[in-house]
Chain A
Amino acid sequence: EDQVTQSPEALRLQEGESSSLNCSYTVSGLRGLFWYRQDPGKGPEFLFTLYSAGEEKEKERLKATLTKKESFLHITAPKPEDSATYLCAVLPGGGADGLTFGKGTHLIIQP
């Protein structure tokens, strides 16, 4: 069974304090790994797609990396507006078309 585990469940940082969020996955043939940001009361907002081990993508203060077993979302010098729940999802191989999501990491950046 495809499985995605995100850690930590919650993280509180001071503004400017860099850290990493982890997404471990077990999937039969990975076709893609996706990171989303979700603000309260809103739908997930797309951040990154990673397709193969060793791939990295960056956007502003965020950088996503991928290995064969996990992905990291690195947040450098975060600001309060980076506070949100960060979701990781995988698209398994074979005929499945729906994403399998982790439960997310709730990130709070304190000024």
Chain B
Amino acid sequence: GAGVSQSPSNKVTEKGKDVELRCDPISGHTALYWYRQSLGQGLEFLIYFQGNSAPDKSGLPSDRFSAERTGGSVSTLTIQRTQQEDSAVYLCASSPLGRGETQYFGPGTRLLVL
């Protein structure tokens, strides 16, 4: 079946602009995760959704970052007033129920802030 999909694949923006990144999880998966992978750094957890609720937002680096999930499916990660240090690959993952189950990753969105 279809895996996790993300769009756009690549995004180039100017410093100070807002960006929206989209994630479509595997059909039927109730848990959804966002991670960030910067050059030379490991993957960094950002936020976790169970259904439409976000019980764990502990990884969001600042209040410029927000995320929502609607219909228990698609999620959008929004970065306001982008900064150059936001340049990274943003990865989305989903799992059937969360809580220790395997997370399956999408291909990522490569964000470059000029």
Contact = CB atoms under 8 A, between A and B. Distances in A.
B103 A103 contact: no
A96 B105 contact: no
A26 B43 CA distance: 17
Which residue, of B43, B45, B105, B108, has the highest number of chain A Cβ atoms within 10 A? B43
A95 interface: yes
B106 interface: yes
Nearest to B99: A97
Contacts of A42: 107-108
B54 to A, nearest CB: 10
A34 B103 contact: yes
B47 to A, nearest CB: 8
B71 interface: no
Nearest to A88: B42
B105 A45 contact: yes
Nearest to B34: A98
Interface string A69-111: 0000000000000000001010100011111111110000000
A44 interface: yes
Interface of A: 4, 31-32, 34, 36, 42-46, 49, 51, 87, 89, 91, 95-104
Given A43-B4, A87-B43, A99-B103, 19 more contacts: A34-B102, A36-B105, A43-B106, A44-B43, A45-B105, A46-B104, A46-B105, A96-B58, A97-B48, A98-B33, A98-B47, A98-B48, A98-B56, A99-B33, A100-B45, A101-B35, A101-B42, A103-B40, A104-B42
5 contacts: A42-B108, A43-B4, A51-B100, A97-B48, A101-B42
Interface of B: 4, 31, 33, 35, 40-48, 55-56, 58-59, 91, 98-100, 102-108
